[in-house]
Amino acid sequence: MITLLIADDHPLYRDALRGALSLSLPALTLKEAGDLNTTVDILNNEDIDLLLLDLHMPGSNDLFGLLHIRKLFPELPVAVVSGTEDTTLISKIISVGALGFIPKTASAQDIANAVEAILDGDVWLPDNLSEDVDEVNEEFSELADKVASLTPSQYKVLCYMRDGLLNKQIGFNLDIAEATVKAHVTAIFKKLGINNRTQAVLIASQLELEPPVQ
């Protein structure tokens, strides 16, 4: 029995996706999560064969959720499901190890085809987008791998550094002490192999990262 996890914060879309998959692939067992923490908990405690991940659910704005999950569960097949069909973003998604991109406008048959292809180990992209998606960018992949080693709190600090905030301002925004921010900054420098804020800002800007939704 194949078990699939739908991670999306919109119950109506989860229901629609469940309905589409149940009709096309009735042998699937389907699990659901509405935020990044619940997704990680399920992945830690159950055998999941494929994750369908929304990029913008709580805890997982932009690429962080995908990077985080890829770091924690490197063998897990992941497909991103998104309402955004930006080919630059899709190229990044594939570069960091996702096996597919499924637009939220996809038909039930396309969704089923995508799931079947990914479970077979193939990369699946919509026909109308596949020609415009760039090949895997190794430099981007290496940067993303370093960022994936950050904790969620460190990731937020990195994003605020990218936006030019001082430690005191970051502490205010995150409701933590300035000393805690400084500790996070030190850890970020170590994990990213850098030694100043300018380099941190450059990395965050190259990845076009955004702070996770609270």
Q: In what order do the strands lie in the sheet with 29-33?
A: 29-33, 3-7, 50-54, 78-82, 100-103
Confidence of residue 90 (pLDDT cuts 50, 70, 90): confident
Mean pLDDT, the chain, integer: 87
Residue 84 has what pLDDT? 79
pLDDT-based confidence at 209, cuts 50/70/90? low
- Mean pLDDT throughout 81-105? 86
What CATH number should be reported for the domain whose range is 3-130? 3.40.50.2300
* Model confidence at 107: pLDDT above 70: yes
- Given a cut of 70, is residue 92 above it in pLDDT? yes
Residues 6+ apart with CB under 8 A from 157: 170, 174, 181, 184, 185, 188
User: Residue ranges per domain, the chain?
Assistant: 3-130, 150-207
How sure is the predictor about 214, in pLDDT bands with cuts at 50, 70 and 90?
A: very low
Q: How confident is the model at residue 30 (pLDDT cuts 50, 70, 90)?
A: very high
Cβ atoms of 82 and 103 within 8 Å: the answer is yes
Tell me the per-residue pLDDT of 150-204, one tens digit each, with 9 for 90 and over.
888 898 899 899 889 999 999 999 999 999 999 999 999 999 999 999 999 888 8
Is the pLDDT score of 126 beyond 70? yes
Assign 137 a pLDDT band (cuts: 50, 70, 90): low
Residue % of the chain over a pLDDT of 90: 46
**Lookup: tokens for 103:** 């637009």
Question: Does the domain formed by 150-207 have CATH 2.40.110.10?
Answer: no
Model confidence, pTM: 0.80
**pLDDT class of 7 with cuts at 50, 70, 90:** very high
Q: Which residues contact 170 (CB under 8 A, 6 or more apart)?
A: 157, 160, 161, 181
Average pLDDT of the residues in 3-16: 92
Give me the DSSP letters along the chain.
--EEEEE-S-HHHHHHHHHHHHHH-TT-EEEEESSHHHHHHHHHHS--SEEEEETTSTT--TTHHHHHHHHH-TTS-EEEEES---HHHHHHHHHTT--EEEETT--HHHHHHHHHHHHTT--B--HHHHTTSPPP-HHHHHHHHHHHTS-HHHHHHHHHHHTT--HHHHHHHHT--HHHHHHHHHHHHHHHT--SHHHHHHHHHHHT--PPP-
CB 149 within 8 A of CB 187: no
Which comes out higher in pLDDT, residue 83 or 175? 175
